[in-house]
């Protein structure tokens, strides 16, 4: 059985799984971006797979949806270089760790944000059911880890704030999970406009249908996925990803005290954030 230290290591003070080798993380700055690369950015469990699925349907020409840029070992750079089509590249990296060439080339980036309380609950389940992540025990223990940013990819707050601080450098498009659920049509339209893809209303409706939670969950059973080439890469068990897909589940987990602690930290950290105005934050 793997021990926690086999599964997690720290890089720049951030916990990464050992699926992201230290050598790869060190060499990321040598990564050669292309002007037409598109980044799908998220803190884990914010709806990355959903966004990725929408992207696949938006392009009619062949594109390659890669595994996250930070997953794998040093051979990743060469593997990415060998891709002969347009690349859609997911990442959970904070802005400061993003390879500089993406910034220099001003690549398009779409960042999906989910309210942090539901994100925390979703990540809790992911930890619990995923043998590639350390055992975390009870919700209360995990809750403290989440607040302190001691979970994979570090602090939710630092992640989002790092991307917000540099939002204009790459013209990042920010999307909100809850708004996408409420009005997927509007969100898909927004993405297609951002990417300069022309779509008529019927085509957009079709994409919304194909990427609904129920449709994607149903399709999970039919797919065989290779963990080295999926959006997540921490599991080949897609059932871990399409769990509930709801808004507000956190209410069944947070105690009154935990909720107060969370709100206090949120208010302190997000005080000056413009994005916070659009986040579906529930007290
Ligand atoms: P839950 O664990 O709350 O169910 P990610 O893709 O970033 O790992 O995020 C996974 C979360 O997004 C899971 O949340 C999953 O159910 C939800 N999700 C995946 N596809 C979705 C869809 N098409 N619509 C809504 N939520 C979706």
Chain mean pLDDT for the chain? 93
DSSP 75: H
CB 145 within 8 A of CB 151: yes
Q: DSSP assignment of 98-123, as one string? A: S-HHHHHTT-EEEEEE--HHHHHHHH
CA 241 to ligand 1 center in whole angstroms: 6
CA distance 267 to 272: 9
CB 64 within 8 A of CB 14: no
CB 245 within 8 A of CB 142: no
Angle at 201 between CA 195 and CA 203, to 5 degrees: 70
Ligand 1 pocket test: which of 67, 234, 245 has the largest number of ligand atoms within 8 Å of its C-beta?
245
CA distance 36 to 277: 30
CATH superfamily of 8-277: P-loop containing nucleotide triphosphate hydrolases (3.40.50.300)
CB 111 within 8 A of CB 163: yes
Q: 23 falls in which pLDDT band (50, 70, 90)? A: very high
In this predicted model, what pLDDT tens digit does every residue of 59-113 receive, in sequence order?
989 999 999 999 999 999 999 999 999 999 999 999 999 999 999 999 999 999 9
- Report the nearest atom of ligand 1 relative to the CA of 249: 3
CA 210 to ligand 1 center in whole angstroms: 14
User: Mean pLDDT lowest for which of 101-110, 148-157, 218-227?
Assistant: 218-227
CB 231 within 8 A of CB 68: yes
> Whose CA is closest to atom 27 on ligand 1?
245
Ligand 1 binding pocket, CB closer than 6 Å: 42, 44-50, 118, 122, 125, 181, 211-213, 216, 232, 241-245
pLDDT at position 164: 98
- Report the nearest atom of ligand 1 relative to the CA of 232: 8
User: Mean pLDDT lowest for which of 49-63, 201-215, 218-232?
Assistant: 218-232
Mean pLDDT of 39-43: 98
Q: Which residue ranges make up each domain of the chain?
A: 8-277
Q: DSSP assignment of 160-215, as one string? A: HHHHHHTTTTTTPEEEEHHHHHH-HHHHHHHHHHHHT----HHHHHHHHHHTSHHH
pTM of the predicted structure, to 2 decimals: 0.95
Q: 240 falls in which pLDDT band (50, 70, 90)? A: confident
CA distance 253 to 244: 14
> Whose CA is closest to atom 8 on ligand 1?
45
pLDDT at position 112: 98
Residues that are catalytic: 92
């Amino acid at each position: 059985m793997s021990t926690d230290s086999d599964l997690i290591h720290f890089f720049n003070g951030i916990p990464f799984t050992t699926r992201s080798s230290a050598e790869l993380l060190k060499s990321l700055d040598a990564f050669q971006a292309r002007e037409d690369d598109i980044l799908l950015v998220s803190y884990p469990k914010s709806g990355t797979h959903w966004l990725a699925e929408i992207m696949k349907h938006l392009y009619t020409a062949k594109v390659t949806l890669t595994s996250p840029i930070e997953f794998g070992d040093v051979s990743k750079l060469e593997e990415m270089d060998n891709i002969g089509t347009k690349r859609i590249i997911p990442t959970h990296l904070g802005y400061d760790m993003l390879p500089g060439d993406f910034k220099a080339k001003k690549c398009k980036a779409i960042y999906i944000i989910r309210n942090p309380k539901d994100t925390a609950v979703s990540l809790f389940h992911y930890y619990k059911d995923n043998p590639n992540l350390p055992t975390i025990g009870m919700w209360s223990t995990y809750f403290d880890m989440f607040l302190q940013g001691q979970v994979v990819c570090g602090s939710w707050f630092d992640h989002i704030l790092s991307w917000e601080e540099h939002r204009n450098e790459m013209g990042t498009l920010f999307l909100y999970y809850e708004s996408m659920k409420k009005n997927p049509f509007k969100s898909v339209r927004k993405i297609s406009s951002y990417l300069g893809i022309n779509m008529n209303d019927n085509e957009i409706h079709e994409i919304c249908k194909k990427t609904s939670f129920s449709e994607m969950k149903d399709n999970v059973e039919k797919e065989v996925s290779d963990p080295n080439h999926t959006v997540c890469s921490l599991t080949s068990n897609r059932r871990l990803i399409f769990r509930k897909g709801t808004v507000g589940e956190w209410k069944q987990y947070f105690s009154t005290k935990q909720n107060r602690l969370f709100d206090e930290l949120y208010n302190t950290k997000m005080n000056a954030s413009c994005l916070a105005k659009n986040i579906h934050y529930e007290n």
